[in-house]
């Protein structure tokens, strides 16, 4: 019998397979965010079309980044994913990111069971270099047209660094 009191958690961080919830599909310029208080997704704003997301964007449940929001995830897939679904994802790295002076890291993941691609992506080095450049460009410039706020991609980290970022975010969640 199903336990209806189970709540989605971050998953198996040490094993490198985490749970991720999709907020924004690849190619969308809608800034959709999870509203924790209302337990719904909401449209926060519409970004200029030129700044559509270069990959799916979501969050890891039961985590908090230093900015007070759930820890973000960049989900690499061939096709856009639908807002609101969750997937088991394989951690392949982290983009160390600062948004308006606040740490706002992005864990990079791929579907854990991606048989069509032979689970080819195990680290950031496995991704096409051009995709990494597009992601970095997007996050370095998406606030340019607003002329408000600053964003900085500080560095990229490996799987182990990503796991540490996730563990720290889980601890923040527990401490809240």
C-alpha span between 46 and 86 (Å, rounded):
23
Sequence-distant contacts of 144-149: CB under 8 A, at least 24 apart: 145/48, 145/50, 145/51, 149/99, 149/100
Q: What is the pLDDT of residues 142-164, one digit of tens each?
A: 888 877 788 889 999 999 999 99
Detail the DSSP E strand segments found in the chain: 11-12, 17-24, 30-35, 40-46, 56-60, 71-75, 86-99, 102-103, 106-111, 151-157
Residue 81 or residue 142, greater confidence: 81
Residue 119 lies in a domain: yes
Residue positions in the annotated binding site for substrate? Answer: 31, 45, 57, 142
pLDDT of residue 176: 86
The residue length of the chain stands at 176
Domain that holds residue 87: 11-175
Residue positions in the annotated binding site for Mg(2+)? Answer: 67, 72, 104
Confidence band for 120, pLDDT divided at 50, 70 and 90: confident
Residue positions in the annotated binding site? Answer: 31, 45, 57, 67, 72, 104, 142
Number of domains into which the chain is organized: 1
* CATH number of the structural domain spanning residue 47: 3.90.80.10
Residue 3 lies in a domain: no
Residue 4 lies in a domain: no
* Region 1-29 average pLDDT: 89
Q: Is residue 16 predicted with pLDDT exceeding 70? A: yes
Q: Is residue 101 predicted with pLDDT exceeding 80? A: yes
pTM metric for this prediction: 0.93
List the end-to-end C-alpha distance of the chain, in Å, as a whole number: 32
Residue 164 CB neighbour total at 10 angstroms: 13
Residue 26 lies in a domain: yes
């Amino acid at each position: 019998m199903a336990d209806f009191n189970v709540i989605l958690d971050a998953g198996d961080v040490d094993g490198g397979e985490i749970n991720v919830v999709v907020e924004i599909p690849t190619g969308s310029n809608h800034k959709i965010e999870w509203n924790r208080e209302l337990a719904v997704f909401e449209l926060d704003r519409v970004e200029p079309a030129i700044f559509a997301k270069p990959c799916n964007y979501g969050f890891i449940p039961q985590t908090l980044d230093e900015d007070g929001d759930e820890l973000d995830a960049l989900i690499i897939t061939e096709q856009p994913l639908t807002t609101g679904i969750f997937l088991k994802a394989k951690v392949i790295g982290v983009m160390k990111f600062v948004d308006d002076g606040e740490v706002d890291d992005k864990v990079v993941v791929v579907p854990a069971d991606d048989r069509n691609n032979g689970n080819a992506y195990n680290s950031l080095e496995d991704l096409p270099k051009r995709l990494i450049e597009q992601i970095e460009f997007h996050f370095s410039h998406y606030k340019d047209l607003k002329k408000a706020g600053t964003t900085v991609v500080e560095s990229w980290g490996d799987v182990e660094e990503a796991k540490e970022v996730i563990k720290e975010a889980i601890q923040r969640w527990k401490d809240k």
